[in-house]
A = this chain, B = another copy of it.
Amino acid sequence: MAAFLIPWLRMKGIEVMQVYGRNTDKARGLGKYQEIPWTDKLEDLMQDADLYILAVADEAIPGLGSRLHDCRGIVAHTSGAVPLDALSSCPHHGVFYPVQTVGQYPLPRVEDIPVCVEGADEKDTLALKGLAERMSERALILDSKQRLHLHLAAVLVNNFTNHLYARAGALLKREGLPFDLLHPLLLRTAELACRSEAATLQTGPALRGDEATIRRHLTVLRDDPTLEGLYVILTQAIREMAENQA
Contacts and interface: CB of A to CB of B under 8 A. Distances in A.
Interface of A: 58-59, 81, 99-101, 103-104, 106, 108-109, 112-114, 138, 140, 142, 145-146, 148-172, 174-177, 179-199, 201-207, 210, 212-213, 216-217, 220-221, 226-227, 229-230, 233-234, 236-238, 240-241
Contact of A162 (B142, B184, B193, B229): B193
A194 B183 CA distance: 6
A156 B171 contact: yes
The copy count of this chain in the complex is: 2
A82 to B, nearest CB: 8
Contact of A159 (B100, B202, B221, B230): B202
B185 A99 contact: yes
Instruction: Describe A's contact surface by its main secondary structure.
Output: helix
Contact of A190 (B156, B186, B213, B236): B186
Contact of A220 (B103, B149, B181): B149
A1 B112 CA distance: 35
A221 B156 CA distance: 13
A185 to B, nearest CB: 5
B212 A59 contact: yes
A190 B190 contact: yes
A101 B226 contact: no
